[in-house]
Structure 1
């Protein structure tokens, strides 16, 4: 199991001031966060978001040396301008931060999986905030209680309890907190490779994404469709979310 990369988000805004003859005006400029995939070549770096928008950094406040081709990332930015019609990009951006997203395959159980392996995956509490499918990934946004230890997050397919009565493939989010003490509510995001679930002769499959609550019942149940053709959406309104509005809804401590 990979160690989870925790992404901590700070509540902040950029403040620009301007002066006129009457008074000083303060303009709060919203900036955005979006999930996407890096394309990095010797002479080019850009991010293609999960809704198909191509972002070209014109300026950045972070070192991009660690970025790799096909890396899944969460990027914080503001739009500087639209790209020209004859250009490959959609927007030129000013990039404030960029974090690698935990990316790993679905963990598969079968009848021969040892009990100690299943136990190592864990059954500790985790809350799913949102899930969506993009290309060959199921993305899961989640929160859990933690302090200082490394936690493990996995999306699990149990071959002995593989599908619902309607035929959806069951994938359950599992959490091992490594006996960590509760100090903070921590937010995270992970991309799980589901390409192994492609079926010949089909264009898509349906997943039931779920996780169990404190009462022993599945308190998150969402059906999402994994289409084998690459997504071709280009929806700016749902793709670019205002960052400080997002933070307020999460109730971070």
Structure 2
């Protein structure tokens, strides 16, 4: 009898431990941060989903605020979230995550601007520090640092106007900053993403480009990249 009770007790311990491991796989105290695209949808009760840069799909289950007060369909976002569950099966990796959305921030996303005599001055030639740069499909992303006070600053990625051909490679791009005469008293950081779609050249599936800019020490920043739109376009 004692052996039977002991065996049942051991079995119960393993059962409880197994359940705890499954239920506690994601902790409510853990948070993830990442970039993605906000999309409105009718496929879930909250009316939106977030497609992350690595193609993971975040499906909101709960949040403490109305996300539609801050972002709208198609916006690029930086999100902080807690994973509650996922769609992984036995031997299969998760591709969808059911989350609590803790915060969302709209990230500036814009196209490439053609520089002309008319807009050259308004684009500005103020310095900008590049902390990081990376590509995500058709987006070229920057983490930037600049100094300011109270005025709105403008950041643009520009190229010379005119039709692009295969001989245009690498396409020369310039990161431009207009501080609008702001005082350089407070350091700021910002993220901005530029859509490279305007660099696509008919008959090619990729294009080489080079980005340059000038920082606050008057040193030149440069970045060489290849935009593979044949692979990235649906």
Task: Provide TM-score, normalisation by structure 2.
Answer: 0.74
For residue 30 of structure 1, report the CA deviation from its aligned partner.
Answer: 4.9
Aligned pair in 2 of structure 1 residues 91, 134: CA closer, same or farther (>3 Å)?
Answer: same
Deviations 1:187-230 (A, max 9, x none): 11112122121122222112212211245441x21212211122
Deviations 1:11-63 (A, max 9, x none): xxxxxxxxxxxxxxxx9945222111112123442111111111112221331
For residue 136 of structure 1, report the CA deviation from its aligned partner.
Answer: 2.6
Structure with the largest fraction of helix: 2
Aligned pair in 2 of structure 1 residues 88, 150: CA closer, same or farther (>3 Å)?
Answer: same
Aligned pair in 2 of structure 1 residues 28, 90: CA closer, same or farther (>3 Å)?
Answer: closer
Contact 2:207 2:228 in 1 (8 A): yes
Alpha-carbon separation, structure 2, partners of 1:155 and 1:34: 23
User: What are the within-5 Å matches in structure 2 for residues 101-112 of structure 1?
Assistant: 101-109=107-115
Task: Provide TM-score, normalisation by structure 1.
Answer: 0.69
Q: Which residue number in structure 2 is paired with residue 200 of structure 1?
A: 202
Q: Which residue number in structure 1 is paired with residue 9 of structure 2?
A: none
* 1:75 maps onto 2:76 in alignment: no
Q: Which residue number in structure 1 is paired with residue 225 of structure 2?
A: 224
Alpha-carbon separation, structure 1, partners of 2:110 and 2:135: 14
Structure 1 residue ranges without an equivalent (≥5) = 1-26, 233-253
1:185 maps to which of 184, 187, 208: 187
Bigger Cα displacement from structure 2, 174-183 vs 39-48: 39-48
Structure 2 residue ranges without an equivalent (≥5) = 1-26
Contact 1:37 1:73 in 2 (8 A): yes
SS at match of 1:185: strand
SS at match of 1:180: coil
Bigger Cα displacement from structure 2, 200-209 vs 168-177: 200-209
**More contact order relative to length (CA 8 Å, sep ≥ 6):** 1
Q: Which residue number in structure 1 is paired with residue 41 of structure 2?
A: 41
For residue 87 of structure 1, report the CA deviation from its aligned partner.
Answer: 11
Larger radius of gyration: 2
User: What are the within-5 Å matches in structure 2 for residues 58-97 of structure 1?
Assistant: 58-66=61-69, 67-85=71-89, 89-97=95-103
4+ residue segments displaced more than 3 Å: 27-30, 84-89, 214-217
Length, aligned pairs only: 199
Q: Which residue number in structure 2 is paired with residue 54 of structure 1?
A: 57
Bigger Cα displacement from structure 2, 45-54 vs 130-139: 130-139
SS at match of 2:77: strand
For residue 154 of structure 1, report the CA deviation from its aligned partner.
Answer: 0.5
Q: Which residue number in structure 1 is paired with residue 141 of structure 2?
A: 139
Contact 2:41 2:49 in 1 (8 A): no
Q: Which residue number in structure 1 is paired with residue 11 of structure 2?
A: none
For residue 159 of structure 1, report the CA deviation from its aligned partner.
Answer: 4.4
Deviations 1:48-79 (A, max 9, x none): 11111111122213311243222111111122
